[in-house]
């Protein structure tokens, strides 16, 4: 099912949690709603589920306007952050419960519950109570309960945040597998960029209730729309070198160090910018434009993480360990084409 958000806004008493949010999510996609805590992503999810009414804008499921529709009529499956499995019911009871309210006959309920339980691999736990399950198993049951009624849209609210690191890896693969098997359009809320990058078809990145970028995972990383997107994605975080532009050259914050870059051609003089470079986009190059000094070097196996300074600003770069850099070395670097961006320092907007 295609989901269209048209200028969706949510205002609470004195804060605007989601502001003029417009996006289209295609049928069968797994979309991550990504953003830091408090950016309004859960609010947006609750508006999609119908738990929270919108303050403005419209929501369409395919061509149907569902803006004012109560949650139970929307045909959604919802997985809560802490699963919200009914503690007094068995796994079977939990999975059957949504069908019970749809007045599905008992035999069919049990059959469908067993079928979905096999899909999420909890079929051998049907008689257990939620308290007798591990976190990962509870998660699977919660997904089964959300999927058993064949929802048009599956909503997952930070589904992995209550799991330990290893289970988190396992469950995110599982969510991907289950989503691909069922083909249900899925929206997945997370604040973890790695989670979002690894399993989504598309990432919607939010900040303070405002859509930043709605794109493919690799595009978000390779072509960030603004400074926030560039900062939010990537580990280690992107290096931001503050400076100004002078005659097609970047002048660092200290006003002395400068380097000529082809990408600066056409940028007006005196503009305050950040030269933002991913750590993997530096290359040691005797004829490179950037003259830097090495301040620290860490061994990281095949590569070394070098801490360098350029014009008074420290930054990190991955360097091939065969180069044998040492603290205090003066080196020259050039920049790759990928992973190098220029942002306006005041507005954060990308300068192309």
Partner 1 sequence: MKKNKQKPDRELVDRSFLARIEPYLYLLPFFLGIAVFTLYPVVNVVLMSFKEDYSYLTREFSQWGLANYDKVLSDPKFAQAVGNTLKYVLLVVPISTLISVIVANLLNQKLRFSALFQTAYFLPMVTSVTAVGLAWKLMYNKNFGIINYILSFFGIDKIPWLENAAWSIPSLVIFGVWNILPFTIILLLSGLQNIDPQYYTAARVDGSGSLRIFLRITVPLLAPTIFLVCIVNTISCFKVFSELYPLFNGKPGPFYNLYTVVYYIRFAMMENRKYGVAAAAAIVLFGFIFVFTMIQRVVQSWMSARKR
**CB of 315 vs partner 1, minimal distance in Å:** 44
Q: Determine the Cα–Cα distance for residues 343 and 330; give it in Å rounded to an integer.
A: 27
> Per the structure block, which two tokens stand in for 58?
């419209």
What's CA 236's distance to the chain center, in Å?
A: 16
Nearer to partner 1, 104 or 333 (CB): 104
**CB of 116 vs partner 1, minimal distance in Å:** 14
The residues binding partner 1 (CB under 8 A) are: 49-51, 71-72, 76, 78, 80, 82, 84, 86-88, 97-98, 100-102, 129, 131-132, 145, 149
Q: Determine the Cα–Cα distance for residues 29 and 78; give it in Å rounded to an integer.
A: 16
**CB of 186 vs partner 1, minimal distance in Å:** 16
- Residue 325's alpha-carbon distances to 303, 330, 332, in angstroms, are 11, 9, 12
Which residue has tokens 């399950």? 133
Return the ∠ at Cα 139 (arms to 38 and 89), rounded to 5°.
Answer: 115
Nearer to partner 1, 87 or 270 (CB): 87
CB count in 10 Å sphere of residue 93 = 18
Nearer to partner 1, 49 or 55 (CB): 49
Q: Decide: 294 and 306 in contact? Cβ < 8 Å.
A: yes
**CB of 128 vs partner 1, minimal distance in Å:** 12
Nearer to partner 1, 47 or 319 (CB): 47
Non-local CB neighbours of 105 within 8 Å, separated by 6+ positions: none
Nearer to partner 1, 60 or 97 (CB): 97
**CB of 143 vs partner 1, minimal distance in Å:** 13
CB count in 10 Å sphere of residue 182 = 18
**CB of 64 vs partner 1, minimal distance in Å:** 17
Total residue count of the chain as it appears in this document: 352
Beta strands 239-246 and 249-252 are: antiparallel
Q: Decide: 294 and 317 in contact? Cβ < 8 Å.
A: no
Nearer to partner 1, 98 or 311 (CB): 98
Nearer to partner 1, 101 or 299 (CB): 101
Return the ∠ at Cα 177 (arms to 134 and 43), rounded to 5°.
Answer: 75
- Residue 329's alpha-carbon distances to 173, 284, 303, 309, in angstroms, are 44, 12, 17, 11
Nearer to partner 1, 64 or 102 (CB): 102
CB count in 10 Å sphere of residue 217 = 19
**CB of 86 vs partner 1, minimal distance in Å:** 6
Q: Decide: 156 and 179 in contact? Cβ < 8 Å.
A: no
**CB of 274 vs partner 1, minimal distance in Å:** 42
Nearer to partner 1, 98 or 217 (CB): 98
**CB of 144 vs partner 1, minimal distance in Å:** 13
Return the ∠ at Cα 180 (arms to 178 and 181), rounded to 5°.
Answer: 65
């Amino acid at each position: 099912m295609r989901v269209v958000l048209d200028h969706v806004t949510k205002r609470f008493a004195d804060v605007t949690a989601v502001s003029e949010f417009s996006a289209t999510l295609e049928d069968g996609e797994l979309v991550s709603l990504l953003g830091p805590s408090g950016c309004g992503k859960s609010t947006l999810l609750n508006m999609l589920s119908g738990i929270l009414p919108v303050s403005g804008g419209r929501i369409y499921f395919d061509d149907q306007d569902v803006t004012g529709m109560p949650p139970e009529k929307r045909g959604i499956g919802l997985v809560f952050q802490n699963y919200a499995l009914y503690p007094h019911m068995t796994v079977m009871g939990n999975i059957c419960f949504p069908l019970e309210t749809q007045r599905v006959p008992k035999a069919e309920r049990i059959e469908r519950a067993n079928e979905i339980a096999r899909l999420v691999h909890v079929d051998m736990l049907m008689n257990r109570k939620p308290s007798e399950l591990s976190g990962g198993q509870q998660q699977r049951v919660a997904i089964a309960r959300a999927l058993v009624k064949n929802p048009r849209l599956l909503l997952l609210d930070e589904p992995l945040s209550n799991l330990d690191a290893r289970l988190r890896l396992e469950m995110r693969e599982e969510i991907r597998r289950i989503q691909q098997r069922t083909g249900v359009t899925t929206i997945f809320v997370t604040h973890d960029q790695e989670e979002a990058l690894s399993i989504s078809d598309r990432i919607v990145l939010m900040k303070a209730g405002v859509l930043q970028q709605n794109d493919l995972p690799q595009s978000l990383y390779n072509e960030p729309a603004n400074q926030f997107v560039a900062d939010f994605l990537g580990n280690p975080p992107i290096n931001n070198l503050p400076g100004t532009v002078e005659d097609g050259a970047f002048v660092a914050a200290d006003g002395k160090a400068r380097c000529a870059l082809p990408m600066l051609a056409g940028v007006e003089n005196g503009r305050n910018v950040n030269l933002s470079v991913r750590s993997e986009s530096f290359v040691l190059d005797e004829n490179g434009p950037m003259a830097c000094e090495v301040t620290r070097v860490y061994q990281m196996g095949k590569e070394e993480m070098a801490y360098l300074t350029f014009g008074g600003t420290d930054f990190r770069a991955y360097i091939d360990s065969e180069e044998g850099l040492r603290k205090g070395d003066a080196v020259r670097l050039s920049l790759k084409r990928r992973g190098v961006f220029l942002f306006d320092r005041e507005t954060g907007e990308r300068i192309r």
